[in-house]
Amino acid sequence: MINPLRGMKDLTFEESARFVHIITTAISISKKYGYSYIETPILEETGLFKRSVGESSDIVGKEMYQFEDKGGNDVCMRPEGTAGIVRAFVSAKLDRQPVKQKFYYYGPMFRYERPQKGRLREFHQFGCESFGEASVYEDFTIITMISQIFDALGIGFDLKINSLGCKVCMPTYKENLISSLTNIKEELCEDCNRRIGTNPIRVLDCKNGKCQSLLVESPKLINYLCEECDPDFNKLTALLDKAGISYEVDSNLVRGLDYYSKTAFEFVSNEIGAQSAIAGGGRYDRLVEFLDGKPTPAVGFAIGIERIMELVQMPEVKRDGMYLGAMTEEAVEALLPVATAKRLEQKVTLEYNSKGFKSHMKGADKVNARYCALIGEDELKNGTIWVKDLESKEEKTVLLEEF
Ligand code: HAM
């Protein structure tokens, strides 16, 4: 028997119903916010992720499904969606159009991580990317939208926010951070020591308890924000306060992808164990330019579908559609055109085997049908069909042509 690869999963029955419910709920809410669907390839040039997610990030450094294709191209299965969408945005020259563009997407992402609860090698995201809007109102609106999606799915969350500054405030902060980290270098872990040289901001994100306790005293970016970033961040927190969306400012929230500037956020759940992030995102005002487009402000997020799968409160399943059955072989054939016609308006389960009445009623129950419609010898002779509403229990026999 061939099983799926480690860290990859089949989605069937109950789980796939949850998956569809999550995606349809998220789509319907994102459409109300003006997002339209975008689909980009799963396979992209490796250089795309190196330039956007960042060479020093764990995703690019350790976790890429990267290989050479038969044509000798260095390609990679996308580890996340934003890079490909920005590439598509630039490829289609949308960066040269004055209109704002908003896209939603969902699909599989691939990261060669060590599988554990909540951490897969193939997982799915639903995400949104908004291009062309520099106002912090858009950051607020996106956070509101994610809260609405989680509310609609019955999922509780905690929200963490931070500002990662911009090209004006980041360099001064980085300098101060590096000098402070260099002072405690000997006590920090190996990973942190490497990061001081490659990407010092990521040191703040270290999961090592000892490092975290040493970092308490290190400079906080929030205290170095420039004349533009500081009021924007204050505005965002004021807007969230006003809207009654609770949040925690987490000055160590740096995100694992290098393209962020200004607002960064994460939605976490305390009900799913160590891998608690259920959504993440933020502003990436410089990424379009990094990928050779015209400078375009942008902000977005992605929800990890598998992480919220168990948390979703599924709507009550109601009886739905029609079960069609026959008591004689001839009657089965008479039901074929009935099924085709009825399928134009509702779900139909057609039983191909002729059976007794009781057996058909059981069959209708099994598929949770609202109506059970049967043709026996008498009905076939009279050109009628017997139908029962399994909710109201009403039953009647009607002419087939009027059915
Ligand atoms: P991310 O934080 O890397 O952001 O991923 C978003 C979400 O995907 C996480 O919060 C988590 O729920 C889920 N996730 C990540 N890795 C795994 C995994 N190995 N197994 C299961 N679930 C996982 C991004 O990917 C950005 N592209 C989000 C974004 C969009 N930022 C701006 N626009």
Give residue 300 CA to ligand 1 midpoint distance, Å: 11
pLDDT at residue 316 in the model: 92
Atom of ligand 1 minimally distant from the CA of 256: 3
Closest CA to 60 of 256, 261, 252: 256
Residue 318 in tokens:
């109601």
Tell the residue nearest (CA) to atom 8 of ligand 1.
304
Angle at 171 between CA 169 and CA 174, to 5 degrees: 110
pLDDT at 2: 97
Both tokens of residue 14? 């109950």
The finding on whether 258 has its CB within 6 A of some atom of ligand 1 is no
Average pLDDT across each block of 10 residues of the chain; the chain has 403 residues. List them in order: 97 94 98 98 98 93 96 98 98 94 98 96 98 98 98 98 95 93 92 91 89 90 95 98 97 92 97 95 97 97 98 95 96 95 97 97 97 96 97 96 92
* 346, 321 contact by CB (below 8 A): yes
Residue 320 contacts residue 367 (beta carbons within 8 Å): no
Alpha carbon distances (Å) from 73 to 55, 76, 249, 296, 394: 18, 10, 43, 29, 65
How deeply is 178 buried, as exposed, middle or buried, from its count of CB atoms within 10 A (0-12, 13-18, 19+)?
middle
Residue closest by Cα to atom 17 of ligand 1? 119
The answer to whether the CB of 79 is under 6 A from ligand 1 is no
- pLDDT recorded at residue 154: 98
**Which helix or strand (DSSP H or E) is residue 290 part of?**
helix 287-290
220 CB burial (10 A radius; 0-12, 13-18, 19+): middle
Q: Residue 22: what pLDDT? A: 98
- How far is it, in rounded angstroms, from Cα 231 to Cα 256? 25
CB of 215 within 6 A of ligand 1: the answer is: no
DSSP states of 19-36 as a string? HHHHHHHHHHHHHHTT-E
Alpha-carbon 276 to chain mean position:
14
Mutate to test the pocket of ligand 1, among 52, 117, 125 (most ligand atoms within 8 A of CB): 125
Mutate to test the pocket of ligand 1, among 257, 259, 283, 310 (most ligand atoms within 8 A of CB): 257
User: Is 102 close to ligand 1, i.e. is its CB under 6 Å away?
Assistant: no
Q: DSSP code of 63?
A: -
**Which two structure tokens, joined as six digits, stand for 133?**
């809007």
How remote is the CA of residue 52 from the centroid of ligand 1, in Å? 15
Q: Do 337 and 293 touch, CB atoms closer than 8 A?
A: no
Task: Give dist(CA 302, CA 287) in Å, integer.
Answer: 16
According to the model, what pLDDT value does residue 366 have? 97
Put the strands of the sheet holding 43-45 in their side by side order: 43-45, 74-77, 65-68
Is any ligand 1 atom within 6 A of the Cβ of residue 280? yes
Give the pLDDT score at 56. Answer: 87
| Two structure tokens written together for 75 | 């390609």
CA dist 236 and 259 (Å) reads 20
Task: Check pocket membership of 120 for ligand 1, CB cut-off 6 A.
Answer: yes
List domains and CATH numbers for the chain: 13-169+225-311 (3.30.930.10), 322-402 (3.40.50.800)
